[in-house]
Structure 1
Amino acid sequence: MGGEAIDRGHVLSMWEADRASRDLGIELLDVELRDGLGYALTRMTISPAMVNGHGIAHGGYVFILADSTFALACNAGGMTTVASGADISFVSSTRLDDVLIAEGIERATYGRNGITDVTVTRESDRALVAEFRGRSRQARPASAARPASAARPASAARPASAARPASAARPASAARPASAARQIRPAKDA
């Protein structure tokens, strides 16, 4: 685990507490900072429980590997950081006993936000399996949290005179009836 010196305590304690990743056999190979941005490398072997009805690895497990790698990379800087969103594109399938490698690289951080890319490959032939992009958000430090005393007092609530006038309210007749809600129906046999 090379790269810039980082306080590994935060990211390693997060990893030790990550039972989901551990129970799936995800191995941490490297976590570091490179030019101030997080980097992580992990590995996972496709087990019989991960194979779907088509005989290939279920995409959800590939996503979990990428997501776990994303978590390591975006927490490498020592701040508690969580996902705010993620997308994945599956490129090729994998099968039982394939070993997958996930490499996560933080691309940018701005304010408390970040973008991290994770590439998942098959170890045996380096074939591209999936590309993942995660969006992250740093949690506020406890010292920056808004104290309870700073909350708006009840007396500062909007006065009744500022409430929406009754004439501006939507008439009951304009509300969409429950029966008009969009319904999904099975396709008719051809």
Structure 2
Amino acid sequence: MDITDDTPPQELAEACAAALWADDRASREMGIALDRVGPGEAVMSMTVREEMTNGHGTAHGGFIFALADSAFAYACNGSNQRSVAQHCSITYLAPAAAGDRLTATAVERAVAGRSGIYDVTVADQTGRVVAEFRGHSRTIKGTLLGA
């Protein structure tokens, strides 16, 4: 894809997501799907498998965090400037179980200079909120697509 100053933001976000997805082995191996991406936003989903549950029989928080973190990554990398997590936090609000389909919806809240703030809501198939995640991004050198 040829990137110009006139490239529509949605087209740019989709191209950046495709480039990121090509090397995102972690998300693919966990069964995470990229459902939708746009400028400053992303929606990803995952079904909780038996091997993703903890000793309480509920979804291990690390897998919920990984889903939210992946959505955060796609939301903050849609403008062709490489971005990484600078700080992330998550609050678990309700348990998820094996078989639940979790959806993480990431939304850009603010960008200033090289820093960004993104909120991610993780909900189950009924719409019940399982967790709220906040990610702080930092741009680094490089782009996802050719200049």
**Residues 75, 81 of structure 1: 8 Å contact kept:** yes
TM-score, scaled to structure 1? 0.68
Distance 1:59 1:122 in 2: 14
- Using the TM superposition, give the Cα deviation of residue 5 of structure 1 relative to its aligned residue in structure 2, in angstroms: 2.8
Give the letter for the 1:26 counterpart.
I
Distance 1:120 1:5 in 2: 23
Distance 2:142 2:63 in 1: 32
**Residues 31, 47 of structure 2: 8 Å contact kept:** yes
Structure 1 partner of 2:3: none
**Residues 119, 135 of structure 2: 8 Å contact kept:** yes
**1:13-92 paired onto structure 2 within 5 Å:** 13-33=19-39, 38-92=40-94
- Using the TM superposition, give the Cα deviation of residue 79 of structure 1 relative to its aligned residue in structure 2, in angstroms: 1.0
Distance 1:128 1:121 in 2: 4
Distance 1:135 1:105 in 2: 12
List, as ranges, runs of 4+ consecutive aligned residues in structure 1 with deviation greater than 6 Å.
Answer: none
Aligned positions, number: 135
Specify the structure having the higher radius of gyration (Cα).
1
SS in structure 2 of the partner of residue 76 of structure 1: coil
- Using the TM superposition, give the Cα deviation of residue 16 of structure 1 relative to its aligned residue in structure 2, in angstroms: 1.9
Unmatched tracts of structure 1, length 5 or more: 143-190
**Residues 43, 105 of structure 2: 8 Å contact kept:** yes
**1:121-140 paired onto structure 2 within 5 Å:** 121-123=123-125, 125-140=126-141
SS in structure 2 of the partner of residue 134 of structure 1: strand
Unmatched tracts of structure 2, length 5 or more: 1-7
- Using the TM superposition, give the Cα deviation of residue 15 of structure 1 relative to its aligned residue in structure 2, in angstroms: 1.6
Identity percentage over the alignment? Answer: 43
**Residues 11, 78 of structure 1: 8 Å contact kept:** no
Give the letter for the 2:127 counterpart.
R
Distance 1:108 1:90 in 2: 23
Structure 2 partner of 1:6: 11
- Using the TM superposition, give the Cα deviation of residue 141 of structure 1 relative to its aligned residue in structure 2, in angstroms: 4.0
Give the strand-richer structure, 1 or 2: 2
Structure 2 partner of 1:102: 104
Distance 1:5 1:128 in 2: 27
- Using the TM superposition, give the Cα deviation of residue 69 of structure 1 relative to its aligned residue in structure 2, in angstroms: 0.3
> Which structure has more RCO (C-alpha within 8 Å, separation ≥ 6)?
2
Distance 1:104 1:141 in 2: 23
Distance 1:133 1:11 in 2: 20
